[in-house]
Structure 1
Amino acid sequence: MTRLFSLLAFAIFISLGSESLAQVPLPSTSSGSDTAEMATTVPEDITTDEINSMVARMSDDEVRNLLLYQLDAVAAKNETVTPTLSTSERVAKLWTAFTTPTVDAVKKLPVVGPKIGEAFSNFSASYGGGGAVMTMLGLIALVIAIALGVEFAVRAWLARSSSVTAQDSTETGLREAVVFLLKRFMREIFGLVVFYVVIRTLGRTVLSPQQLAFAGPFVLNLIWLPRLTGACSRFILAPHRSDLRLVNVNDQWAKFLHRNIIGLFFLAGFTLFFTGFSNSNGVPTSETRIGFWLDSLVYVYIIFIALTAREGLIDLMRGTDPDRTVADETFAKFYPYFAVGVAVATWVLVSTLIGLQQISALVHGAHYLTMFLLLMAPVIDTAIRGLVRHVVPPMRGEGPAAEGAYLSTKRSLVRIGRVIAAGIIIVMIANAWDFSVGALMREGVGIADNVFGFLMTAVVGYVAYEGVSLWINSRLAAEFTALGMSEEEADAEMGGASGSRLSTVLPLMLLTARIAIIVVFGLLAIGNLGIDITPLLAGAGVIGLAIGFGAQKLVSDIVSGVFFLVDDAFRTGEYVEIDGTMGAVEKISIRSMQLRHHRGAVHTIPYGEIPKLTNYSRDWVIMKLKFTVPFDTNPNQIKKIFKKIGQEMLEDPLFKDDFLQPFKSQGVFDIDDVGMVIRGKFMAKPGKQFMIRKEIFNKIKAAFAESGIDFARREVRVALSDTDTHEDLSEQQQAAIMGAAAATASQQEEAPAAAPKGPD
């Protein structure tokens, strides 16, 4: 009862303070099957004794119901309903928020000067007058001078003790330039650290806490930040050392950018310092809008730099990589205008946030960090391309295959670097605006977590996609280079050099791996959005069954191709024959293969339609050459000539590596009605036999001419009957007889050639 009484008194007094509910009807109560209704009136000027009397007449249930009803009434009255705004109302609200700071700043221009004077007067008064202020400024200047002296002494000592130097020569390599610039940069950073430690130690010794409150932001924003910017700019731009410069920009624009980047950061630091100074000395920036004007001046300065140094910025963004794409070139030309757009967008964002009274992040410079990171993102991209250019090993081998693999490797590394850099930039921007990615990962709730999970899965999948492509392409390039394959060999009579088993299978592995990665990570990403992927998997299974039943021929082709590859029946570049169709294997896919005939025709043959495959390019090939010489030729002399030619070919650097067995004579192979058929043979690597054969033909012709050996020629002799004489025949009759004899001899020669022959 005591607790109920206390709660009732609390609720009644709340109701009395809320300007309402002088009369409150009690909810109905029931006991057993009877229901009684009662109403109690709570007067506005109720006293403690009256409360005791009321409670004494009420049951516990009635007190509880009255308490709940009274609390609900008070909550309903005090509840503020936020109206839902339409799209047009939201746009109007944002427009008002954007224009309000500008209009207000223009209206307050007349009071800017007097208010700034008032801030300085308050500052002087707070430190005890002008004399005390001058004393404080003198102490601060003395501390800064001492800190600078110690810093320069330390840097000079480090410079003398450093053994790394860079000569003034255009032949300075990248490694030497980076080492020198990095050494110099680290000396500058170490000097800034020494400067900070000395000035902090001396400041705490000679300055009061009140004076430190002024000196700290002053040194940080107007001295330390611009000097740190200058050190970073000198490392990248090297304005006075063109031979060490890491970016593609000439001396004029390097010096211009170096000066103005330092000036830009000085202006940004001055903006942060002066707004804090004004607020801490009794003149809030809302009274003068001086922070608005200084902040706007920063964006105007950026636009000035971007438009003035357009040429230098375009060259800088273009980089020195000769393999840049059309997209790289286009964005390089667009970058100055991108910088202008970033500056304008940041100004619009800052103005809108000020109009919405959301300036907590702006006070800490979140908008400056965001703008800086966005402006640096393309610069980082250029740096990634330049780094990849020097990190990737030189192209191995020659030809389109090696060149394509080299470019593919570079592009994959550049894309992976871009993804990593974009992730780091996004995290830094999120932290600048107090949006914790780590907290989002830990909490794991809400639509933001779903989107974040989707993006992270997509990024991991993309990196895996590029990583697999990078590895397979590099292996493929190594295989092609090791084999010495090139398109110039495609015009050989029976194909060029054959590829390895890896060079044949890797393209299919690449395609399969890419499809698998896209499917798996695509489903995982969709699942992270909160979408149930079970129906998708079930649907994919049903579609797979439908394809299996409805496309049995396709399945047969794929399965047959798998077994052909397992059996290593053919490789890319090999010359094969399939059911009378001949050609070099130019391309293989999951379902079919393409044969390039030596006359240019391309045949596409599904694997399921291959009854038998004959490979003419596997491991080795034997070429047999026939020569017909007159009957009176000495075979031993020809044997010596062939042996000599074979020895010369083995010593020829153009052909010696292509022989497996030297060219040699096989003696008299046959004797016909023309002369003796002498045969020679050699064994060579597949695809190399045709160039060797051509050279052997040339050498044999020259050797026969030098030795006085003629090649036998077919002759047709016509014998006339005794009753006819040559003189009695006319010219027409003689021509007819000779033509008939030549035709008969030709038919006799072609008949054996058409008959089936045994193995050579």
Structure 2
Amino acid sequence: MIRLFSRVAALLLALSLCAPVLAQTADTGSETVAAPSVPEDLTPEMVDGLVARLSDDQVRALLLDRLDAVAAERAEVVTENEGLIARIGAIGTALLANWTAALAAVPTLFAKLGESFANFGSTFGGSGLLRLFGLTALILAVGYAAERLAVYLTRDWHTRAKPADDSDLRGALRFLFRRLCREVLGLIVFWVVLRVVGRQILSAQEIAYAAPFVFYLILLPRLGAAISRFILAPKQPSIRLVSIDDHWASYLHRNQIGLFFLIGFTLWILGFNALNGVPPGEMRLGFWLNTSIHVYIGIIAWTARDGLRDMMRGRDPDRTEWDEKVAYSYPYFALVVTALTWLLVETLIGMGNPQTLQLLALKAPHFTTMFWLLMAPAIDTLIRGLVRHLQPPMIGTGPVAERAYKSTKRSYIRIGRVIAGVFVILMIANAWEIDLRNVAGAGTESGGAVIQALMILAFGYILNEVVSLWINRRLAKEQTAAQTQDEEAGEGGGAGGSRLATVLPLLRITAQVAIAVIFTLLALGALGLDITPLLAGAGILGLAIGFGAQKLVSDIVGGIFFLIDDAFRVGEYVDVGGTMGTVEKISIRSMQLRHHRGAVHTIPYGEIQKLTNYSRDWVIMKLKFTVPFDTDPNKVKKIFKKIGAEMIEDPVHKDGFLQPFKSQGVFDFDDVGMIIRGKFMAKPGTQFTIRKEIYNRVKNAFNEAGIDFARREVRVAIPGLEDAESLSDEQKAAAAGGAAASQQQQG
């Protein structure tokens, strides 16, 4: 073993002695020699053979591999040992170095620009420049002519799609979309003709200069103008999709074109300088142009803040407080986004990672990031506008239908926001060439775990909103289809809702709690947390509740069986052990009864021994009328029959009847007169209104027929009443006293 270690030490010593030679010959341009493979489990014989076979080039290659491995190991150790403060310090140092370098390069900025254009001129010469400019102008003219021809041939798209009036949103959208398609088609034709003609008459070197100029300084601003006209429709308020006035629409349109031109100029001039032998790092022009883009965006956002707020509010009348806050803070949000994006880019440039610098130069992901972050609130406004116009119409009428309609609208908006948020994240990740699927699939990495957890929570949120959306629409349909209780009659007994209207609120709460618990546990598991103790703790807690809250369990179980038996529904009038009222609300363990005088009674299900429902299917009302003894019952029967026939034809009351009002004949006699009873069968909730109308009609019919209602009276029989004029005052007083005594006895 000692011999083996000595052989290995000799080999490493030989490699170290060759290091100065390697350093001196590293740039000689000699051929690269592959390093020999060294087995991990060396034996003494293998070491001897390896030393004997190695040539100088192989020793050099082996040493390079060894030095690279040691450097990589040390870099990993340093990275692992770096703390948060050290990393922040490194980032700050890189950022400061970048700014310092940019300021230091200011004196040479214009000189380098002059050098770049001088190199450009010397590359082509005077005649070459005239040829390049002339042919480029000719190609542009040919491309523009082809574009105008394409636009002319598609002119019918524009006229056929013109909206009929200002309120025709679908027509306005169709008009703007077809106009955008015409403009984009024209630009495509323009670009294709340029490429075809340019390849025929320009050399490869001339194309390398002309193509970026045309693309960045002509095509890109025109494409931005087409998109801006689609969104803002300057000077055309009747077809404008966003809520903004003409002044700010024109201002934003002009400056959006200017912003696209500035971005295009930045990308073109940097490439132009690189083609002419002036690297961007020498003059730092990119720093100042990038800064000017972000400052320009900040100026636009601050100047047009009132117009941007109006645009963010939209035209939806059902805006929430959150929508108002987002609209008000959007200009400040734009300022923060552009400032942070600028800071991020300059920090990355200062850190000097070659791959990052190449990505920034080729794809400009910071511009894409800033675009989608600034568009996110605007996309939210677009979602609210689409939901407002595309949402199905309200089911039914009344406050219940209105609440359900607004709740459904908010659900659609929240689902759209989650989908839009995921889309924006994917677009930003794609711009920075980050594959979120690979990151999420890493499993052991903290970033991947967080992404997995967020994806799970997003899916759970969408599922919760979809379930709520379906239940709310069904609930609105069931509740608005039910008969409403007559508030004016005010004695309870209204018709209840359907069985679904009673069960769906409980189902909604149960589903929301279940989804929240399940997806929260899944998200915690994705973060690497062991959820087994949580499940065990939930089981123990449930067991403790089962033993310690038997009354609660009894209430819940009782409520389940009451719902299974369909004993009551929301809106029905019930009697629970002498407590009467309309079922106003049900929960997992209790029900609330609203008495017709306003009192609310909360009754646990476990305490219900008997429940009487007065609102199920049909109601029979029996009305009593007392008439004098000499009244003809047949005459009263005909009056009742006539009233019943008239009301069954009355459009106001006919839908409430199941059987018409009719007489049941003489029901009883009392000291006052005959009691005649009538009855009718009605739908629950309509009986009191019908009863009130019957009372009014019977009274009017009795007056017309000369029938009086019997009233309590006392008659005193006095013998010799024909001689009443000759009675003395004492006799009259005695008669009055007897009548009073009789009245008291009857009372």
Common topology (TM > 0.5): yes
- For residues 32-181 of structure 1, what are the structure 2 equivalents within 5 Å? 60=45, 80=74, 83=78, 84-126=81-123, 128-160=124-156, 164-167=160-163, 169-171=165-167, 173-181=168-176
Q: Output the CA distance in 2 between the equivalents of 1:323 and 1:64.
A: 86
Cα separation, 1, equivalents of 2:240 and 2:512:
40
Seen in structure 2, the aligned counterparts of structure 1 residues 530 and 481 have a Cα distance that, compared at 3 Å, is same
1:633 paired residue among 607, 631, 640: 631
Separation in structure 2 between the aligned mates of residue 517 and residue 626 of structure 1, nearest angstrom? 57
Does the Cα contact within 8 Å between 1:576 and 1:615 map onto a contact in 2? yes
1:741 positional shift: 2.3
Q: 1:292 to 1:484 in 2, by over 3 A?
A: farther
Contact kept? 1:253, 1:312, Cα under 8 Å: yes
Distance 1:294 1:490 in 2: 74
What code does the residue aligned with 2:141 have? A
Sequence identity of aligned pairs in percent?
56
Equivalent residues, number: 700
Where 2:591 maps in the other structure, the secondary structure is: strand
RMSD: 2.9
**1:19-78 Cα deviation digits (max 9, x unpaired):** 79xxxxxxxxxxxxxxxxxxxxxxxxxxxxxxxxxxxxx9538859999xx999978975
What residue in structure 2 maps to residue 745 of structure 1?
746
Give the secondary-structure state (helix, strand or coil) at the position aligned to 2:622.
Answer: strand
Counterpart CA distance in 2 for 1:106 and 1:73 is 41
Deviation at 1:5, TM superposition (A): 13
Question: Residue type matched to 2:652 in 1?
Answer: L
Could you tell me how far apart the structure 2 residues matched to 1:161 and 1:551 are? 72
- Relative to structure 1, is the Cα distance of residues 293 and 744 closer, same or farther in structure 2, using a 3 angstrom cutoff? same
- Residue 126 of structure 2 aligns with an amino acid whose one-letter code is G
What is the SS of the residue equivalent to 1:497? coil
Q: Matches of residues 137-286 of structure 1 in structure 2 within 5 Å?
A: 137-160=133-156, 164-167=160-163, 169-171=165-167, 173-286=168-281
Measured after TM superposition, the shift of residue 125 of structure 1 is 1.6
Matches within 5 A, 1:306-345: 306-345=301-340
Deviation at 1:738, TM superposition (A): 4.4
Alpha-carbon distance in 1 for matches of 2:143, 2:298: 35
Distance 1:449 1:716 in 2: 97
What secondary structure is seen at the aligned counterpart in 1 of 2:621?
strand
Asked whether the equivalents of residues 718 and 741 of structure 1 are also in contact (C-alpha less than 8 Å), the reply is no
Gaps of 5+ in 1: 21-57, 747-760
Task: Tell me which residue corresponds to 2:495.
Answer: 497
What TM-score comes out, normalization by structure 1 length?
Answer: 0.87
**Code of the aligned partner of 2:134:** G
Aligned match of 1:25 = none
Indicate the residue corresponding to 2:532 in structure 1. Answer: 534
Report if the CA contact (8 A) 1:461-1:521 is conserved: yes
Whether the aligned pair in 2 keeps the contact of 1:321 and 1:389 (CA below 8 Å) is yes
- Aligned match of 2:14: 13
Equivalent residues in 2 for 1:349-364, closer than 5 Å:
349-358=344-353, 359-363=357-361, 364=363
11-20 or 192-201, larger mean C-alpha shift: 11-20
Q: Secondary structure, in 3 states, of the residue corresponding to 1:626?
A: strand
Query: Deviations along 1:440-494, whole A, 9 cap, x unmatched?
Result: 34554422221111111101100000000000000000111111447x7497302
CA contact (8 A) 2:489 2:689 kept: no
Deviation at 1:514, TM superposition (A): 0.6
Aligned pair in 2 of structure 1 residues 674, 481: CA closer, same or farther (>3 Å)?
A: same
Aligned equivalent of 1:384? 383
* Conserved 8 A contact 2:157-2:178: no
Indicate the larger mover: 397-406 or 437-446. 437-446
Aligned-pair CA distance for 1:708: 1.5
My pick for the range that moved more, 421-430 or 488-497, is 488-497
Aligned residue type for 1:542: I
Q: State how far apart, in whole Å, the 2-side matches of 1:74 and 1:377 are.
A: 49
Aligned amino acid, residue 288 of structure 2: W
For the residues of structure 1 that align with 2:312 and 2:427, how far apart are their CA atoms? 23
CA contact 2:163–2:172 (8 Å) conserved in 1: no
In the other structure, the counterpart of 2:567 is 569
1:531-569 deviations in whole A, cap 9, x for unaligned? 121121111111111111111111111111111111111
The residue type equivalent to 1:296 in the other structure is T
- Using the TM superposition, give the Cα deviation of residue 98 of structure 1 relative to its aligned residue in structure 2, in angstroms: 2.5
Counterpart code for 1:423: V
- Cα distance between partner residues in 2 of 1:676 and 1:441: 88
Shift of the 61–191 alpha-carbon distance from structure 1 to 2, 3 Å rule, reads closer
Query: Counterpart of 1:753?
Result: none
The letter of the residue matching 1:455 is L
Q: Could you tell me whether the CA contact under 8 Å between 2:297 and 2:338 is conserved in 1? A: yes
Q: Which residue of 2 aligns with 1:755?
A: none
Q: Relative to 1, partners in 2 of residues 1:349 and 1:737: Cα closer, same or farther, differing over 3 Å?
A: farther
Q: Among residues 689, 692, 709, which one is paired with 1:691 in the alignment? A: 689
Give a deviation string over 1:373-408, Cα, whole Å, max 9, x none. Answer: 000000000000000001112222222211111011
CA contact (8 A) 2:555 2:606 kept: yes
* Alignment check: 8 A CA contact 1:15 1:74 kept: no
Inter-CA distance 125–66: structure 2 relative to 1 (3 Å threshold): closer
CA distance in 2, matches of 1:65, 1:135: 65
| Kept in 1: contact 2:657–2:683 (CA 8 A) | yes
TM normalised by structure 2 equals 0.88
Q: Is the 8 A contact 2:496 2:570 kept in 1?
A: yes
Query: Does residue 714 of structure 1 match 2:719?
Result: no
Alignment partners' CA distance in 2, 1:531 and 1:10: 49
Name the residue aligned to 1:412: 411
After superposition, where does 1:515-594 map in structure 2 within 5 Å? Answer: 515-594=513-592
**Which stretch of the first structure deviates more once superposed, 92-101 or 196-205?**
92-101
Deviation at 1:106, TM superposition (A): 2.5
Amino acid at match of 1:14: L
Q: Which residue of 1 aligns with 2:287?
A: 292
Gaps of 5+ in 2: 22-42, 53-61
Q: CA deviation at 1:85?
A: 4.0
Is 2:478 the partner of 1:479? yes
| Greater displacement, 252-261 / 92-101 | 92-101
Determine the C-alpha separation between the residues in 2 that align with 1:145 and 1:75.
57
AA aligned to 2:305 is R
Tell me the alpha carbon deviations over residues 254-288 of structure 1, each in whole angstroms, 9 at most, x when there is no partner.
11111111111111111111111112211122222
Checking the alignment, whether the CA contact within 8 Å between 1:489 and 1:497 is kept in structure 2 is no
Comparing 644-653 with 510-519, which one deviates more in the overlay? Answer: 644-653
Closer, same or farther: CA 742–125 of 1 in aligned 2, 3 Å:
same
1:439-518 mapped onto 2 (5 Å cutoff): 439-441=438-440, 443-485=442-484, 489=487, 492-518=490-516
- State the one-letter code of the partner of 1:125: S
> What is the CA–CA distance in structure 2 between the aligned matches of 1:102 and 1:469, rounded to whole Å?
53
SS at match of 2:352: coil
Q: What is the Cα deviation at residue 719 of structure 1?
A: 5.7
Residue equivalent to 1:604: 602
Q: What are the within-5 Å matches in structure 2 for residues 595-674 of structure 1?
A: 595-674=593-672
Q: Give the drift of 1:162.
A: 6.2
Q: CA deviation at 1:131?
A: 2.4
Q: 1:368 to 1:741 in 2, by over 3 A?
A: same
Other-structure match for 1:24? none
CA contact (8 A) 1:501 1:568 kept: yes
Provide the C-alpha distance between the structure 1 equivalents of 2:644 and 2:716, rounded to a whole number of angstroms. 42
State the AA in 2 paired with 1:314: R
Change in 2 beyond 3 A, CA 1:706/1:289: same
Give, in whole Å, the separation in 1 of the partners of 2:90 and 2:695. 91
Q: Secondary structure at the match of 2:74?
A: coil
In the superposition, relative to structure 1, how do residues 553 and 101 fare at CA in structure 2: closer, same or farther (>3 Å)? same
Deviation at 1:423, TM superposition (A): 0.4
1:489–1:495 CA contact under 8 A, matched in 2: no
Counterpart residue number, 1:45:
none
Contact 1:490 1:496 in 2 (8 A): no
Superposed CA deviations along residues 562-599 of structure 1, whole A, max 9, x for unmatched, are 11111111000000001111111000011010111111
Which residue in the other structure is 2:341 paired with? 346
CA contact (8 A) 2:484 2:495 kept: yes
Q: How far apart are the structure 1 equivalents of 2:194 and 2:487?
A: 73
